[in-house]
Amino acid sequence: MMKEFYDLADFSVEQVEALISLATRLQHQPEPQALAGKVLSLLFLSPSLRTLASFQAAMVRLGGGSFVISPEMSIHGIESRAGIVMDGAAAEHISEAVPVIASYGDAMGIRAFAEGRSLDNDLADFEYNKLRQLVTTPLINMESAIGHPCQSLADWKTLDEIGVPKQDGRFVLSWAYHPRALPLAVPAATLQMAAMRGMDVTVLRPEGFELPPSIMDRAAQAAAASGGSVRETDDRGEALAGAHVIYAKSWSSTRHYGDKIADGDLRREFDDWCVDDPWFETTAEDCRFMHCLPVRRGVVVSDRVLDGPRSVVIQEAQNRMYAQMAVLHAMLGNGGL
């Protein structure tokens, strides 16, 4: 039985492919009694739409159920600092709240976004790990500071479905403009997924938005093991030539991480990084557009690309549910993985 689904890098390529097979099987052959009487506790410390909906739906489809806890539900306010005298607004500490919530479920999902202040803290997934050590049930990372494995599993399944080759598949993870400094979770997870899948992966981003060396190194090792490659460039022409996929996502400047003013000044120089038709001039003819959603139209990607035949963003989001059903089945079902 799977005990934790924290990061795709914790699994072998064979294990990931087994999960995707299971996801596809559950998509086509429902098992409405598989998790009868089983409970998933869902703890959202950051907002959610797709994840909130798809995990609840996944449990119902497998015959179980779930409950949702989000901070705005509790008047108490929840304290997370250690050793504090709680004479202020917060009436409850995570040391009590999290183990209790976890204990009501057979498995738990946690979403805790990056704080966006210290790159080291966020790369170490400081907030998520503070919660993780309070939980003894099987645990699913529903997006942390540096990981989003459910999205990656769904994206891998989508890549299989649209026929992007593993060997010699050209996958471009491109930074895009966005008015706010966003976390590194999706780019880091997507890079690792694409590398594990054996594709030739290019990270296309302006100077100042390099992915952290630890993230790049880890992906390079995964690529080497799978027969793929990883590189990083700010040269759009070089990056896009022959691409099978443009996966767009905005993220924070790593040069100015935690400094919103400097990040903003730098990113505004690149507000023309909006994926549009000209980006596809030298790609493979059937090059697809991917994004994890939510996406800002006219900012990250043009309407015509997003509404056109290249876009598979809805399919990616739909696959979230099937991917998560597979994870839940592997954690709580009779068959294991």
**Interface with a copy of itself (CB under 8 A):** 30-33, 36-39, 41, 47-50, 52-54, 56-57, 59-67, 69, 73-76, 79, 83-87, 90-93, 95-97, 99-101, 103-105, 179, 293-299, 303, 306-307, 313-314, 317-318, 321
Query: Closest CB to a copy of itself among 47 and 227?
Result: 47
Q: Which is nearer to a copy of itself, 298 or 336 (CB)?
A: 298
Give CA–CA dist 105/312, Å, rounded: 34
Token look-up 């399919």 returns 315
Cβ at position 163, least distance to a copy of itself in Å: 21
Nearer to a copy of itself, 241 or 299 (CB): 299
Least distance to a copy of itself, CB of residue 295, Å: 6
**C-beta of 39: minimal distance to a copy of itself in Å?**
5
Taking the least distance from each CB to a copy of itself, the nearer of 239 and 312 is 312
Tokens of 53: 């909906």
CB of 225 or CB of 314, closer to a copy of itself: 314
Closest approach, Cβ 121 to a copy of itself, in A, equals: 22
199 closest CA partner among 234, 175, 177, 227:
227
Length of the chain: 337
The overall longest dimension of the chain from CA atoms, in Å, is 63
Instruction: State the minimum distance, in angstroms, from the CB of residue 172 to a copy of itself.
Output: 21
- Minimum separation from the CB atom of position 20 to a copy of itself (A): 18
Q: Which is nearer to a copy of itself, 195 or 328 (CB)?
A: 328
Q: Whose Cβ is closer to a copy of itself: residue 36's or residue 225's?
A: 36
Provide, rounded to whole angstroms, the least separation between the CB of residue 30 and a copy of itself. Answer: 5
* Least CB distance to a copy of itself at residue 60 (A): 3
Evaluated on CA atoms 34, 39, 44, 47, the torsion sign reads: positive
The C-alpha torsion from 222 through 226 and 232 to 235, rounded to 10°, is: -170
Report the C-alpha gap between 45 and 287 in whole angstroms: 36
Rank residues 105 and 109 by Cβ distance to a copy of itself and give the closer one. 105
21 or 33: CB nearest a copy of itself:
33
List Cβ<8 Å contacts ≥24 apart for 95-100. 95/134, 98/43, 98/131, 98/134, 98/135, 99/134, 99/135, 99/136
